[in-house]
């Protein structure tokens, strides 16, 4: 078994349940089209990587296909609990370096993910900061429960609050490239390839 594990969190592609903020501007059908394209991009990137991959879907795995990956369902009442559960299971299975990413990043690449794993050689925790103040990637080589507890999920203070707590706990932490996901129409306009999908 590989000592490295990549976890990918995916929302099931169902009309009206994905990219809801974006959907307020472009409609549910167009938002679903954008998210489906982002998931396909994430699949393409992760399929090119050599480490084990565990995909965690939001509700069910019935109609979803993901090559060469273990398929799972997210467990927990909020994002923190769901991520914590996935990391715990990974460490319990014997993995020593675990990185978790989402599935809505136009610029995610195998280079970015490998940067995260490289950072874990000298650090306990690594984050990929998002432009909105959160993070698109989190990784660790020892389980750090504080990352997932009592946090302001989906706010601009999330990463800042988390880094302060890790610093106070004397946990060595690294940051890699800042990326942006597509949550709003303003975000979408910065990614012409994906904007074209709804103009066809």
Convert the pLDDT of each residue in 29-85 to its tens digit.
Answer: 999 999 999 999 999 999 889 999 999 999 887 556 777 889 999 999 999 999 999
pLDDT band, very low/low/confident/very high, at 3 (cuts 50, 70, 90): very high
Instruction: Name 24's Cβ contacts closer than 8 Å, sequence gap at least 6.
Output: none
13 pLDDT more than 90: no
Give a yes or no: residue 197 inside a domain. Answer: no
The position carrying tokens 């000298």 is 122
| Parallel, antiparallel or unpaired: strands 97-101 and 135-140 | antiparallel
| Paired sense of beta strands 97-101 and 70-73, if any | unpaired
Count of helices and strands (H, E) across the chain: 7, 7
Please return the burial class of 35, using the count of CB atoms within 10 Å of its CB with bins 0-12, 13-18 and 19+: buried
Residue 151 or residue 89, greater confidence: 89
**Secondary structure of residue 186 in the 3-state scheme:** helix
Phi-psi region of 191 (alpha: psi -120 to 50; beta: other; left: phi over 0): beta
- 14: containing domain: 4-192
| Dihedral sign computed on CA atoms, order 65, 69, 71, 72 | negative
pLDDT for the residue 152: 84
Check residue 121 and give its pLDDT: 96
Count up the domains in the chain and report the number: 1
Indicate the pLDDT class of residue 1, thresholds 50, 70 and 90. Answer: low
- Model pLDDT, residue 48: 86
Which of 4, 18, 116, 87 minimizes the C-alpha distance to 72? 87
155: pLDDT confidence band, cut at 50, 70 and 90? confident
Stated pTM of the model = 0.94
In the predicted model, is pLDDT for residue 199 greater than 80?
no
Measured distance CA(12)–CA(190) in Å, rounded: 25
Residue 198 lies in a domain: no
Q: What is the pLDDT of residues 85-143, one digit of tens each?
A: 999 999 999 999 999 999 999 999 999 999 999 999 999 999 999 998 999 999 999 99
> Residue 131 in contact with residue 180, Cβ under 8 Å?
yes
Can you say whether the dihedral through the CA atoms of 87, 90, 91, 92 is positive or negative? positive
Mean pLDDT of 185-197: 92
Strands 125-129 and 135-140: antiparallel
Q: Is there a domain that residue 153 lies in?
A: yes
What does the pLDDT read at residue 154? Answer: 79
Cβ-based burial of 167 (10 A; exposed 0-12, middle 13-18, buried ≥19): exposed
Going by pLDDT thresholds of 50, 70 and 90, the confidence category of residue 160 is very high
Residue 200 within a domain: no
Residue 78: its pLDDT value, please?
A: 92
**Spatial contact of 53 and 69, defined as CB atoms under 8 Å apart:** yes
The CATH number given to whatever domain includes residue 64 is 3.90.550.10
């Amino acid at each position: 078994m590989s000592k490295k594990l990549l976890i990918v969190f995916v929302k099931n592609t169902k009309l009206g349940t994905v990219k809801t903020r974006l959907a307020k501007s472009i409609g549910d059908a167009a938002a679903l089209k954008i998210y489906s394209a982002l998931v396909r991009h994430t699949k393409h990137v992760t399929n090119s990587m050599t480490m084990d991959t565990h995909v965690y879907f939001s509700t069910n795995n019935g109609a979803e296909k993901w090559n060469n990956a273990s398929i799972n369902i997210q467990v927990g009442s909020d994002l923190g609990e769901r991520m914590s559960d996935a990391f715990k299971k990974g460490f319990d299975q014997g993995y020593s370096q675990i990185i978790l990413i989402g599935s809505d990043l136009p610029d995610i690449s195998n280079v970015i993910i490998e940067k995260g794993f490289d950072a874990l050689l000298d650090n306990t925790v690594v984050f990929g900061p998002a432009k909105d103040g959160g993070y698109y990637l989190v990784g660790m080589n020892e389980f750090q429960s504080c990352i997932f507890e009592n946090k302001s999920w989906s706010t601009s203070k999330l990463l800042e609050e988390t880094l302060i707590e890790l610093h106070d706990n004397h946990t060595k932490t690294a940051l890699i490239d800042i990326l942006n996901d597509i949550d709003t129409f303003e975000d979408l306009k910065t990614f012409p390839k994906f904007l074209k999908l709804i103009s066809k």
